[in-house]
A and B are shown apart, each in its own frame.
Chain A
Amino acid sequence: MTAFLQLLFQGVALGCIYALVALGFTVVYRASKVINFAQGSLLLVGAYLVSFLATDLNLPFVAAVVGAIALLATGGAVFQMTVLRRMLGQPVFVLVMITIGLSIVIDSSIPAIFGGNARILGDPWGASAVHVGGVTLNWVRIWTVVCTGLILALYFAFDRFSRYGLAMRATAADEEAALAVGVPVRRVYALTWAIAGGVAAVGGLFLAGFPSSVNPSLGDVALRAFPAIILGGLDSPPGAVVGGITIGIVEVMSSGYAPGWLGNDFSSVAPYVVMILVLLSRPYGLFGTRPVERV
């Protein structure tokens, strides 16, 4: 039972990171129908920014985190305003290709600038943990869960109660109608990229925490988060959270319980197996909207 609880806790913590990644995807997708293939690269930048600010510039850790969030959110918005904004009205797949180009640039810039070796994050937690009835709760995982919960609460409050949240929902529902009633759609697009950047900074920071480190392969997590966004439904932020945590638990549980004949490292494909099974019965995910088609 303790083994089960231990895995459950780790699964939830991992799932929180997936939820943050998935939230970054869905926020951009909902507004502009663009799958942002650079989301994993933004996470990578987030982890390196925190590490750089905290260890090279010796800032207090909290300041480093806030700084990284601000920088990455600004970076996301600036990229949207300078590059993607020119592409308004162009086919969506062209924008998707541009995000792929961005991810190639970022993924090769990071090792070019910081070198290929792992760096330390500069976080105050390290491997420290509390033990509750035989279950080891690492501080970094506890903070992952707490911060993810806070960020999700903030996001959903923003989405539900603020003017710009309303604008985001209006744009998602119908871009043309939103433009017609005076919603600043261009600013909404920039805002979604800022949110994607800010969320990625937090996701990247926790991803690089114990037992991992700050290294150039961190961005790969975005590919593992795809089952999470699909499971929940591409255009549903609550779905991103449910999908993320489910996938995190599935991955960690299968690393603990998968029988040997399934091969080494089955846990890394288990999320995809679950995703395919769910999609075959619910083709638009658990919470995705089934589009109405006109012929």
Chain B
Amino acid sequence: MSMHTSHRRRFGVTSAGLLGLAVLAIVLPFGLNAGQLTTATFVLIAAIGALGLNVLTGYTGQISLGHAFFLAVGAYTAGVLGGNDHLTALIWLPAAGVVAALCGALVGPTALRLRGLYLAIVTIGLVFIGQHIWFNVPAISGGPGGRSFPAVAFGPFDFSAGQQLTIGGLVIDHNGLYYYLALIILAAAMLFVWNLVRGRPGRAMQAVRDREIAAAIMGVDLARTKMSAFVISSFLTGVSGALYASYLSFATPGQWSVLLSVQYVAAIIVGGIGTVWGALLGSIVIFALPAVLQSLIPQSSSGGLPIDDLTSIAYGVLIIVFFVLEPHGIVGLGRRVASLWSRIGLRPGKGGGLSQEAQSIENRSEATWAG
């Protein structure tokens, strides 16, 4: 009986927390200036892609540094269908996901042969081969000089710069429109992944990650599981890439580099590998940090050093310091806070549960990276 009430109470706390978070996400644009809103929008768009990477790397254990390639495939699908063929966003946005997913299905089989870091480096190869194509096929990418990308527009909604939407006295500008679109897609994607990882396919993925051979012996179809992880991951990433390019409105082939992939990997590790929220938390840290640092460092105090370099140096130092102090990422940080809370009697029992989760993360990481 008491367990039942405590479970119900915790469920109540969770849904209240989610509701509060949703309200916060909805009102947030009205409290931010244009620059901050742009950063927040990029974070949400990136979080969709990071969630895709977490399905592949976090839940299925297939380390990929090829994320930039799938982002680019999504972006250029949007560019070709929306920009060259003038189709509506209702077509090019899903199509970006589908084309990226098809590429994922082509790459997936290599994961059946390769393990761990070998797969990671082959996927780096994917980024280089992709960049070679982008640089050499101007029909897709506009060549080395880059190309423009279409703004999202369907029905009465036009997301181009300068446009705005007025709903009952509230004015939502171009940045705000992208923010809400990204928020809706991200929420849907999180719900989808949340359900996926708790169902049969998701359990199969996690079994493959933890002990591939054991999973195969228990009857998990390795080929099917890895392929579906690649396909789902690439779909989300393609959509993210299309939104990203559309919001940027212009991109050059050089942007889809290994560094971009590395940032996504950093995001899911910082946020929490194999967690649904980790993708968003990590994206906030990795993709908002440079902008935050830039605004914190006053132009005058840079002592003659270029401000961009100074920002990057601070960014790198923070990554090192963060991992030295808190190797379990934000999940580990949350665990500490939770155990502190439970020690002062605010939320009994919560700390133990989280620490177990962190424990399993530690165990699985061994299997993931040591290959």
A284 in contact with B118 (CB, 8 Å): yes
CB distance from B266 to the nearest CB of A (A): 6
B125 in contact with A83 (CB, 8 Å): no
B319 at the interface (CB under 8 A from A): yes
Docked CA distance A266–B363 (Å): 42
A265 at the interface (CB under 8 A from B): yes
How would residues 57 to 94 of chain A score, 1 for a CB under 8 Å from any chain B CB and 0 otherwise? 00000000000000000000000000100110011111
B366 in contact with A272 (CB, 8 Å): no
Docked CA distance A264–B137 (Å): 10
How would residues 110 to 122 of chain A score, 1 for a CB under 8 Å from any chain B CB and 0 otherwise? 0110000000000
In the complex, which residues of chain A have a beta carbon less than 8 angstroms from the beta carbon of B327? 87, 90-91, 94
B172 at the interface (CB under 8 A from A): no
A8 at the interface (CB under 8 A from B): no
How would residues 341 to 371 of chain B score, 1 for a CB under 8 Å from any chain A CB and 0 otherwise? 0000000000000000000001001101111
Q: Which of B132, B135, B213 has the most CB of A within 10 A?
A: B132
B262 at the interface (CB under 8 A from A): yes
Q: Which of B318-333 contact A (CB under 8 A)?
A: 318-320, 323-324, 327
In the complex, which residues of chain B have a beta carbon less than 8 angstroms from the beta carbon of A102? 316, 320
Of B114, B319, B370, which contacts A101 at CB under 8 A? Answer: B319
Given contacts A101-B316, A108-B313, contact A230 B324 (CB under 8 A): no
A268 at the interface (CB under 8 A from B): yes
B312 in contact with A98 (CB, 8 Å): no
How would residues 102 to 141 of chain B score, 1 for a CB under 8 Å from any chain A CB and 0 otherwise? 0000000010011101101110110011001101110000
A100 at the interface (CB under 8 A from B): yes
A-B contacts, 10 listed (Cβ < 8 Å):
A93-B269, A105-B317, A108-B316, A223-B124, A227-B121, A227-B125, A234-B117, A263-B132, A275-B122, A285-B118
B269 in contact with A33 (CB, 8 Å): no
Of B310, B324, B365, which contacts A112 at CB under 8 A? Answer: B310
What's the count of A-B pairs with C-beta under 8 Å?
Answer: 139
In the complex, which residues of chain B have a beta carbon less than 8 angstroms from the beta carbon of A97? 265-266, 269, 319, 323
**B interface residues (Cβ-Cβ under 8 A, vs A):** 110, 113-115, 117-118, 120-122, 124-125, 128-129, 132-133, 135-137, 211, 213-214, 217, 258, 262, 265-266, 269, 273, 305-306, 308-310, 312-313, 315-320, 323-324, 327, 362, 365-366, 368-371
A109 at the interface (CB under 8 A from B): yes
B258 in contact with A100 (CB, 8 Å): no
A269 at the interface (CB under 8 A from B): yes
CB distance from B65 to the nearest CB of A (A): 10
A263 in contact with B320 (CB, 8 Å): no
In the complex, which residues of chain A have a beta carbon less than 8 angstroms from the beta carbon of B368? 93
Of chain A, the residue at the smallest CB distance from B109 is A280
B320 in contact with A105 (CB, 8 Å): yes
B370 in contact with A112 (CB, 8 Å): no
CB distance from A93 to the nearest CB of B (A): 4
In the complex, which residues of chain B have a beta carbon less than 8 angstroms from the beta carbon of A269? 128-129, 132
Docked CA distance A285–B111 (Å): 15
B369 in contact with A295 (CB, 8 Å): no
Of A91, A264, A275, which contacts B135 at CB under 8 A? Answer: A264
